[in-house]
Protein backbone atom coordinates (compact mmCIF):
# COMPACT_ATOMS: atom_id res chain seq x y z
CA UNK A 1 0.00 0.00 0.00
CA UNK A 2 2.67 2.49 1.07
CA UNK A 3 4.91 1.44 -1.82
CA UNK A 4 2.21 2.05 -4.46
CA UNK A 5 1.34 5.45 -2.94
CA UNK A 6 5.01 6.45 -2.97
CA UNK A 7 5.28 5.25 -6.57
CA UNK A 8 2.27 7.30 -7.65
CA UNK A 9 3.51 10.36 -5.78
CA UNK A 10 6.92 9.95 -7.41
CA UNK A 11 5.23 9.73 -10.82
CA UNK A 12 3.42 13.02 -10.21
CA UNK A 13 6.67 14.69 -9.16
CA UNK A 14 8.48 13.33 -12.23
CA UNK A 15 5.64 14.51 -14.49
CA UNK A 16 5.67 17.96 -12.92
CA UNK A 17 9.46 18.25 -13.25
CA UNK A 18 9.28 17.04 -16.85
CA UNK A 19 6.63 19.61 -17.70
CA UNK A 20 8.56 22.45 -16.08
CA UNK A 21 11.71 21.24 -17.78
CA UNK A 22 9.89 21.40 -21.13
CA UNK A 23 9.89 25.20 -21.03
CA UNK A 24 6.43 25.38 -19.51
CA UNK A 25 6.12 28.51 -17.40
CA UNK A 26 4.41 28.73 -14.00
CA UNK A 27 3.03 32.11 -15.02
CA UNK A 28 -0.07 33.41 -16.70
CA UNK A 29 1.85 34.28 -19.87
CA UNK A 30 0.65 32.58 -23.06
CA UNK A 31 2.67 29.73 -24.47
CA UNK A 32 2.91 29.82 -28.24
CA UNK A 33 3.04 26.72 -30.38
CA UNK A 34 3.74 26.26 -34.07
CA UNK A 35 0.67 26.79 -36.20
CA UNK A 36 -1.31 28.58 -33.53
CA UNK A 37 -1.25 29.87 -30.01
CA UNK A 38 -1.92 28.45 -26.61
CA UNK A 39 -3.16 31.00 -24.11
CA UNK A 40 -2.30 29.79 -20.61
CA UNK A 41 -4.02 32.79 -18.99
CA UNK A 42 -7.27 31.91 -20.74
CA UNK A 43 -6.89 28.26 -19.71
CA UNK A 44 -6.37 29.33 -16.09
CA UNK A 45 -9.75 31.10 -16.20
CA UNK A 46 -11.37 27.94 -17.61
CA UNK A 47 -9.86 25.76 -14.88
CA UNK A 48 -10.71 28.24 -12.12
CA UNK A 49 -14.33 28.21 -13.36
CA UNK A 50 -14.21 24.39 -13.30
CA UNK A 51 -12.89 24.54 -9.74
CA UNK A 52 -15.83 26.73 -8.71
CA UNK A 53 -18.25 24.21 -10.29
CA UNK A 54 -16.42 21.37 -8.53
CA UNK A 55 -16.49 22.97 -5.07
CA UNK A 56 -20.09 24.21 -5.40
CA UNK A 57 -21.20 20.72 -6.47
CA UNK A 58 -19.72 19.36 -3.22
CA UNK A 59 -21.70 21.87 -1.16
CA UNK A 60 -24.89 21.12 -3.10
CA UNK A 61 -24.29 17.37 -2.90
CA UNK A 62 -24.37 17.18 -6.71
CA UNK A 63 -22.63 13.86 -7.26
CA UNK A 64 -23.38 13.75 -11.02
CA UNK A 65 -21.56 17.04 -11.66
CA UNK A 66 -18.55 15.93 -9.61
CA UNK A 67 -18.36 12.52 -11.32
CA UNK A 68 -18.52 14.08 -14.79
CA UNK A 69 -15.54 16.31 -13.99
CA UNK A 70 -13.14 13.33 -13.87
CA UNK A 71 -11.69 11.50 -16.87
CA UNK A 72 -12.71 7.86 -17.23
CA UNK A 73 -9.21 6.76 -16.17
CA UNK A 74 -8.72 9.41 -13.47
CA UNK A 75 -6.58 8.83 -10.41
CA UNK A 76 -7.47 10.18 -6.99
CA UNK A 77 -4.85 10.17 -4.23
CA UNK A 78 -6.73 10.83 -0.97
CA UNK A 79 -4.81 11.40 2.27
CA UNK A 80 -4.21 8.32 4.38
CA UNK A 81 -5.69 5.94 1.83
CA UNK A 82 -4.83 3.86 -1.21
CA UNK A 83 -5.09 5.47 -4.64
CA UNK A 84 -8.55 5.35 -6.20
CA UNK A 85 -8.43 4.73 -9.94
CA UNK A 86 -11.20 5.19 -12.49
CA UNK A 87 -14.29 7.38 -12.55
CA UNK A 88 -16.54 4.64 -11.11
CA UNK A 89 -14.24 4.06 -8.11
CA UNK A 90 -13.86 7.81 -7.57
CA UNK A 91 -17.68 8.12 -7.60
CA UNK A 92 -17.80 5.73 -4.61
CA UNK A 93 -15.21 7.82 -2.78
CA UNK A 94 -17.13 11.01 -3.57
CA UNK A 95 -20.36 9.48 -2.24
CA UNK A 96 -18.58 8.78 1.07
CA UNK A 97 -17.42 12.39 1.32
CA UNK A 98 -20.84 13.78 0.40
CA UNK A 99 -22.64 11.51 2.89
CA UNK A 100 -21.09 13.47 5.76
CA UNK A 101 -22.29 16.78 4.34
CA UNK A 102 -20.14 19.59 3.02
CA UNK A 103 -21.16 23.04 4.29
CA UNK A 104 -18.34 25.00 2.64
CA UNK A 105 -15.63 24.27 0.09
CA UNK A 106 -13.27 26.70 -1.63
CA UNK A 107 -10.15 26.20 -3.73
CA UNK A 108 -7.66 28.95 -4.56
CA UNK A 109 -5.18 28.39 -7.37
CA UNK A 110 -1.67 29.53 -6.39
CA UNK A 111 0.33 28.02 -9.27
CA UNK A 112 -0.80 27.14 -12.77
CA UNK A 113 1.17 25.78 -15.70
CA UNK A 114 0.88 23.40 -18.58
CA UNK A 115 0.25 23.15 -22.29
CA UNK A 116 -2.48 22.10 -24.71
CA UNK A 117 -2.22 18.49 -23.44
CA UNK A 118 -2.04 18.81 -19.65
CA UNK A 119 -2.71 21.61 -17.17
CA UNK A 120 -1.43 21.61 -13.59
CA UNK A 121 -3.50 23.50 -11.01
CA UNK A 122 -1.93 23.78 -7.58
CA UNK A 123 -3.38 25.63 -4.64
CA UNK A 124 -4.99 25.78 -1.23
CA UNK A 125 -8.43 24.74 -0.06
CA UNK A 126 -10.83 25.26 2.83
CA UNK A 127 -13.58 22.75 3.57
CA UNK A 128 -16.16 22.66 6.36
CA UNK A 129 -17.92 19.33 6.67
CA UNK A 130 -19.73 16.85 8.91
CA UNK A 131 -22.10 17.17 11.85
CA UNK A 132 -19.39 18.88 13.90
CA UNK A 133 -18.69 21.44 11.14
CA UNK A 134 -15.07 20.40 11.01
CA UNK A 135 -12.93 23.03 9.28
CA UNK A 136 -10.07 21.67 7.20
CA UNK A 137 -7.44 23.71 5.39
CA UNK A 138 -4.93 22.16 3.04
CA UNK A 139 -3.29 22.10 -0.35
CA UNK A 140 -4.00 20.27 -3.57
CA UNK A 141 -2.65 19.49 -7.03
CA UNK A 142 -5.00 18.73 -9.92
CA UNK A 143 -3.76 17.55 -13.29
CA UNK A 144 -6.31 18.37 -16.00
CA UNK A 145 -6.52 16.61 -19.38
CA UNK A 146 -8.95 17.00 -22.23
CA UNK A 147 -11.42 14.20 -22.72
CA UNK A 148 -13.89 14.52 -25.59
CA UNK A 149 -12.88 18.19 -25.94
CA UNK A 150 -13.56 19.07 -22.28
CA UNK A 151 -10.95 19.74 -19.60
CA UNK A 152 -11.40 17.15 -16.84
CA UNK A 153 -9.46 16.10 -13.76
CA UNK A 154 -7.06 13.34 -14.70
CA UNK A 155 -5.28 13.15 -11.34
CA UNK A 156 -5.69 14.86 -8.00
CA UNK A 157 -4.09 14.77 -4.60
CA UNK A 158 -4.79 16.77 -1.47
CA UNK A 159 -3.79 16.86 2.18
CA UNK A 160 -4.43 18.93 5.27
CA UNK A 161 -2.20 21.61 6.74
CA UNK A 162 -3.20 21.01 10.34
CA UNK A 163 -5.33 18.71 12.45
CA UNK A 164 -9.04 18.97 11.74
CA UNK A 165 -10.99 21.08 14.22
CA UNK A 166 -14.68 21.88 14.65
CA UNK A 167 -15.63 25.26 13.16
CA UNK A 168 -16.68 27.92 15.64
Per-residue pLDDT tens digits for 13-70: 333 333 333 333 333 333 444 446 899 999 999 999 999 999 999 999 999 999 999 9
Q: What is the CATH number of the domain that holds 113?
A: 3.10.450.50
Reported as a single tens digit per residue, the pLDDT across 147-163 is 999 999 999 999 999 76
Exposure b/e, 131-168, CB count within 10 A at least 16 = b:
eeebbbebbbbbbbbebeeebbbbbbbbeeeeeeeeee
Least confident interval from 6-15, 54-63, 65-74, 106-115 = 6-15
pTM score: 0.76
Number of domains within the chain: 1
| Domain that includes residue 49, residue range | 2-166
Amino acid sequence: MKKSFVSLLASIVVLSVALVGSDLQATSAPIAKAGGGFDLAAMRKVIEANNRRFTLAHVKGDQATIDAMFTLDAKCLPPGADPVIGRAAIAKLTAEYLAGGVAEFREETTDFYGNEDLLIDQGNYVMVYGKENTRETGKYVNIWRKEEGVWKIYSNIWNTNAPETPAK
